[in-house]
Amino acid sequence: MSDLFANLGLGFAVALSLQNLALCFMGCLVGTLIGVLPGVGPIATIAMLLPITFGLDPVGALIMLAGIYYGAQYGGSTTAILVNIPGEATSVVTTLDGHQMARQGRAGIALGIAAIGSFFAGTVATLLIAALGAPLTRLALVFGPAEYFALMVMGLVFAVVLARGSILKAVAMILIGILLASIGTDLETGQDRMTFGFAFLTDGIDFSVLAMGLFGVAEILRNLDQSETRDVVRQRIGRLLPGLTDLRQAAGPVLRGTAIGSILGILPGNGAVLGPFAAYSVEKRLARDPRRFGQGAIEGVAGPESANNAGAQTSFIPLLTLGIPPNAVMALMVGAMTIHGIVPGPGVMTKNPNLFWGMIASMWLGNLMLLVINLPLVGIWVSLLKVPYRLMFPAILMFCAIGIYSINATPTDVMLIGAFGLCGYLLIKFGFEPAPLLLGFVLGRLMEEYLRRALTLSRGDPMVFLERPVSAVLFAVSAVLLVAALMPALRRSRDEVFTEA
C-alpha cells in the first residue's frame, strides 16, 4: 500500500511539472475542441492530432495524447446531449435521455451531471489502474508466448462478440486486419510478403495511415451522404450545477456506472463499449418508474456517462501492463508509444516508472481539468456546434493530409489515406464495422510472433495451447463466448442491448 502511494507520489511529481501540466491542459482543450465537432469521434481526433505530439518527449507526448483522448470523449458526450449526435458508439446511450433533458431546458444539468459523474468515475478508475498496475505486470512476466497468444485470441473474440451486426462480418474484419498486418517484410525471414512489388509496401502498412483512412476520411465520406438536420438545442443551457435532489437521484447511478464501466473496461476486446449500454439497462431495470427513461431521466445520463469514462480509463490497464491494446483508441496509443521508442507492455513500468506513473497521475489531473474547462466553456462548445459541416470537412481533411504527410514525409501516405478512406466507406455501406479490423491489424504482428515462438518452443506441437493451464482457460473462455454469441437466443439479447438501450 505504501508502495502505491510512493509510486503515485512519483507520478504526481512528474505530472505536476509545469511543462506536463501545460501539455495535459492543452491536450484536454484541443481534444474537447475537436471531439465536440459532430461526426468526429475520439479515434479520428487522436489520429488527427497524433503528429502534434511528435516533437515532445515521450512522457509529455503520452500525457498530451491521454488528455486528447479524455477531451474527445467528453466532447462526444457534449455533442450527444446538445445535438443528439453521438460522437462515438459509447455516447449513443447519452443521447436518449441527455438530449431529452436538453429539450426540457435542463441541458446545463445534464452536462453538469455528466461531468461530475465522469470525474468521479475517472478518479476511481485512476486509483484502480494504480492499484492493479503492479500485480498485473507481475502476472504478465510469467506469461509465455502461448499465454500471450491465447490472451490476444480472447481479446479478438471479445471484439467479435461486442461488434454490432453480423458476427460473420466481424470475424472477417478481424481476419482482414491480421492479413493487412502481415503485408511487408517478414520479421523472421526477411522475405517480402504480398507487396505486389510496390516499394512503399515493404515496410508494411503504416498504422496511422490505416487508422486515419478508415476513421478520418471514411467518416467524412459517410457524413457527406446523409443530410440530416442538426438538432442543436435552442433552449437556454440553464444552470450547470445540479441541485441537491438531482445529485441524490444521480448518486446511485454514478456509483453503479463506475463499477460496471471499470470492470468492463479491463476486458480485452473493447469491453468499454459495452459499459454505457449495460449501465443504462441496469438503471432502467432498477428504476421505480422505467417509463421515465427516454423522457429525460437524469439516471439515464449519470450512469452511462460514468461507465463510459471509467471504461475509457481502465482500458489503459491491459495496454500498460500486458502491452495488448483492448480497443482501437488504445491501438492508436500503441502506435504513438512505438513512434517514441517505447514498447508497450510489462517493461514500461519497470524501465520507465516516470512515464508509467506520470501518465496515471496525469489521468486524474486531466479529469479535474476537464471538469474545470468544460463547464464554463459550454458556451463556446455550443457555438462550435453550429459550424456547418460543409466548412468542417475540408478543414478535417486538410488536417489529416498534413498530419499524415508529416509522419514520414511521403506523398504516397497521403494517397493511401484516400484509398483506405474509400475502402472504409464501402465497408460501412455494406454493414462492416471497421473497428475490429484496426484491432486485428494492431494485434496481428504480435500474434504471429507469439504463435511462432510458442510453436517453436513446443517443437511444432499445437497442443501446447491446451496443455498450459492459463492458455487453456483463455481458449476455453474464447470458445464459450463465441459459441454463446452464435446461439440464436443470446444473439437476440445481444442485438437488443445495442438497439434498445
Partner 1 sequence: MDEPLHGSGHTRIRGPQPLAAGLGLVGLGLLGVWAGSDLPQGSMRAMGPGFLPRWLSVGITLCGLALAASGLLRDGQRLPSIALRGPAVVMLAILAFALTIRPVAVGPLTTPGLGLIVAGPLAILLAGYASPEARFRELVILALFLTAGCMLLFGDLLNLPIPIFPAFVLEALSGSVSPRLLLRAVAAGLGLTGLGLLAIGRGTRRRAVDVVPHSITT
Contacts of 30 (CB under 8 A, 6+ apart): 49, 52, 68, 71
Q: If binding is defined by CB under 8 A, does position 395 make contact with partner 1?
A: yes
Give the shortest CB-484-to-partner 1 separation in angstroms: 19
Residues 373, 73: contact at Cβ < 8 Å?
no
Residues 249, 299: contact at Cβ < 8 Å?
yes
d(CA 396, CA 85): 18
Show contacts with partner 1 in window 274-303 (CB under 8 A). none
Show contacts with partner 1 in window 252-271 (CB under 8 A). none
The residue (of 272 and 439) whose beta carbon lies closer to partner 1 is 439
Number of residues that bind partner 1 (CB under 8 A): 77
Show contacts with partner 1 in window 67-86 (CB under 8 A). 85
d(CA 110, CA 78): 9
Q: Which of 339, 377, 397, 472 binds partner 1 (CB under 8 A)?
A: 397
Q: If binding is defined by CB under 8 A, does position 214 make contact with partner 1?
A: no
Phi, psi (degrees; rounded to nearest 5) at 186: -70, 130
| Binding characters for partner 1, 19-58, by CB under 8 A (x = yes) | -------------------xx-----------xx-xx---
User: Which three three-digit cell numbers place residue 320?
Assistant: 500498460
Region from 107-115, 326-334, 372-380, 391-399 binding partner 1, contact rule CB under 8 A:
391-399
The residue (of 97 and 219) whose beta carbon lies closer to partner 1 is 219
Comparing C-alpha atoms, which of 320, 322, 312 is closest to residue 474?
Answer: 322
User: Which amino acid is residue 344, in one-letter code?
Assistant: P
- End-to-end, the C-alpha distance of the chain in Å comes to 39
User: Which amino acid is residue 318, in one-letter code?
Assistant: P
Phi, psi (degrees; rounded to nearest 5) at 184: 110, -170
Unique residue bearing C-alpha cell 479524455:
70
Q: Which of 9, 186, 338, 473 binds partner 1 (CB under 8 A)?
A: 186
Show contacts with partner 1 in window 425-454 (CB under 8 A). 425-426, 429-432, 448, 451-452
Residues 458, 471: contact at Cβ < 8 Å?
no
Give the shortest CB-456-to-partner 1 separation in angstroms: 6
Q: If binding is defined by CB under 8 A, does position 243 make contact with partner 1?
A: no
Give the shortest CB-381-to-partner 1 separation in angstroms: 15
Q: Which of 16, 179, 263, 472 binds partner 1 (CB under 8 A)?
A: 179
The residue (of 89 and 272) whose beta carbon lies closer to partner 1 is 89
Q: If binding is defined by CB under 8 A, does position 415 make contact with partner 1?
A: yes
Region from 114-122, 332-340, 349-357, 407-415 binding partner 1, contact rule CB under 8 A:
407-415
Q: Which of 203, 225, 467, 495 binds partner 1 (CB under 8 A)?
A: 225
Helix (H, G, I), strand (E, B) or coil at 366: helix
The residue (of 295 and 408) whose beta carbon lies closer to partner 1 is 408
Phi, psi (degrees; rounded to nearest 5) at 328: -65, -35
Residue 196 DSSP class: T
Q: If binding is defined by CB under 8 A, does position 482 make contact with partner 1?
A: no
Region from 9-17, 149-157, 180-188, 358-366 binding partner 1, contact rule CB under 8 A:
180-188
Comparing C-alpha atoms, which of 333, 316, 310, 364 is closest to residue 65?
Answer: 333
Contacts of 403 (CB under 8 A, 6+ apart): 47, 48, 49, 50, 51, 52, 208, 212
Give the shortest CB-460-to-partner 1 separation in angstroms: 3
Q: If binding is defined by CB under 8 A, does position 178 make contact with partner 1?
A: yes
Q: Which of 228, 376, 489, 492 binds partner 1 (CB under 8 A)?
A: 228
d(CA 87, CA 24): 22
The residue (of 232 and 375) whose beta carbon lies closer to partner 1 is 232
d(CA 69, CA 27): 8
